[in-house]
Amino acid sequence: MPDNKYLLEVEGLTKYFNTPAGLLHAVDGVSFKIERGKTLGIVGESGCGKSTTGRTILKLIEPTAGKIIFDGQDITHYSTKQMRKLRTDMQMIFQDPFSSLDPRQSVMQLISEPLIQHKLVRGKAAIEKKTLELMEVVGLAQRFINSYPHELDGGRRQRIGIARALAVNPKLIVCDEPVSALDVSIQAQILNLLKQLQRDLGFTYIFITHDLSVVKYFSDDIAVMYLGQMVEKAPAEDLFKEPIHPYTRALLAAVPQPVVGETRPQRQLIRGEIPSPVNLPDECRFNKRCDYVCDQCKKGNPTLQEVRPNHFVACTRAHEWLE
């Protein structure tokens, strides 16, 4: 197997759901590549398809179309049985620390379950030892080993979720809003932990969030999604230094800044609501809310074009804003 640079390559990933109201375009033609040991942040608001993208990559949801190449293997059409072998290579950390843990299992059972399922460790003593090690790695005090989720707070529960994901030694970890449900000070602890684990152990992350400040802090590259499509993709610094797509700019402008005293530029707020992702016509999906809409924007869905080195934008007027 060629040990190529990219751990994950996704081409034209698409997921549609059939609903009574029509065809729901959850994810529509998403493409990206992630290098080993790097972090791709996927950012967007509700309904943009970021969570669905994450789950589809892990094949927890079957894709409607497109290609997923993981570690050199085309896993797009892998059966559940074939995927089971890969489960030790790809893991997920969930958003809600309350519902992502089975309330009837103790910390020990929760963390050791993947070890037992994949027969990675045998024997009660060895399992307990490995569990304690994992708890130490994630900063969970060992005295909690027999505790139950309902006895612990959100931050600790999330650490259990992380330990559980780490147990199988994965290559790729999809983090679906892992800190959104946590308090600010706990968020910082968990983010630091995730960053440190990546430094020490070389994980590749997909970091899904709606929080722009967090994604900037955490990612090497960032993809902005809107209504199932990627509208802009760039290295983190470039995206924030020079956001090009009107949606990205509006998103950045909308984040309330914890700064007092500086004269704030008049924020250009985006108008309107996020439209329904059902039965979308073939035009730029942002055109109804865009301040720069033109005739071109109604004639088909713009695709991602590379306008700067490594900086992709899906907008017909992108070149107008390049300085």
Partner 1 sequence: MSDLILDIQDLVVNYETDDGIVHAVNGLNLQLEKKKTLGLVGETGAGKTTTALSILNLVPNPPGVIRNGRIILDGEDVLQKSPKELQKMRGNDVAMIFQDPMTALNPVMTVGEQIAESILLHENVTQAEAFERAKEMLRQVGIPDSRAYDYPHQFSGGMRQRVVIAIALACNPKLLIADEPTTALDVTIQAQVLELMKELIRKYEMAVLLITHDLGVVAEVCDEVAVIYAGKVVEKGTADDIFNHTLHPYTEGLFNSMPNLKKKGEDLEPIKGMMPDPMNLPEGCAFAERCPYASDACLRVNPELRKVSDTHWVACRAYEDERFQLRRYQHA
Partner 2 sequence: MSAVTKSTVTTAKPVTKMKSRSQGQEAWRRLKKNKGAMLGLAFLILLVVVAIISGYIFDYETDVIGINPAEKLQKPSAQHWFGTDNLGRDIFARVLYGSRYSLVIGVGSVFIGLVIGVLCGALAGYYGGMVDQVVMRINDMLYAVPNIMIAVVIVSLFGTSTFNLLLSLCVTVATAFTRIARASVMTIRQQEFVEAAYAMGLPTWKVIFKHILPNCLSPIIVQATLSIGTTIINASSLSFLGIGIPSPAPEWGAMLSEGRNFIRNSGYICVIPGLAIMFTVLALNLLGDGVRDALDPKLKK
Rounded to the nearest whole angstrom, what is the least distance from the CB of residue 101 to partner 1 in the complex? 18
Residue 212 phi, psi (nearest 5):
-65, -35
* In the complex, minimum distance from the CB of residue 158 to partner 1, in angstroms, rounded to a whole number: 13
x-or-dash string of contact with partner 1, 234-273, rule CB under 8 A? --x---x---------xxxxxxxxxxxx-----x-xxx-x
Q: In the complex with partner 2, which residue's Cβ is closer, 142 or 257?
A: 142
The count of residues interacting with partner 1 (CB under 8 A) is 42
113 vs 211 by CB, closer to partner 2 = 113
Which of 1, 3, 18, 104: binder of partner 2 (CB under 8 A)? 104
> CB count, 10 Å around CB of 34?
21
Smallest gap, in angstroms, from Cβ of residue 151 to partner 1? 12
* DSSP state letters, 286-308: TTTT-TT--GGGGSSPPPPEEEE
In the complex with partner 1, which residue's Cβ is closer, 38 or 210?
Answer: 210
Tokens of 137: 């790695």
Strand partners, 65: 14
Where do we find the tokens 């707070």?
153
151 forms part of the interface with partner 1 (CB under 8 A): no
Q: State phi, psi for 30 to the nearest 5 degrees.
A: -95, 130
Q: How far is the CB of 96 from partner 2 (least distance, A)?
A: 6
Q: Which amino acid is at 21?
A: A
The region that residue 40 occupies, defined by phi over 0 for left and psi between -120 and 50 for alpha, beta otherwise, is beta
DSSP conformational letter for 143: G
Tokens of 190: 């968990």
Using CB under 8 A as the criterion, which residues of the chain lie in contact with partner 2 when the complex forms?
55, 58, 60, 83-84, 87-88, 91-92, 94-96, 99-104, 106, 113-114, 117-118, 125, 128-129, 132-134, 136-137, 142-148, 150-151, 161, 164, 166-169, 171, 200-203
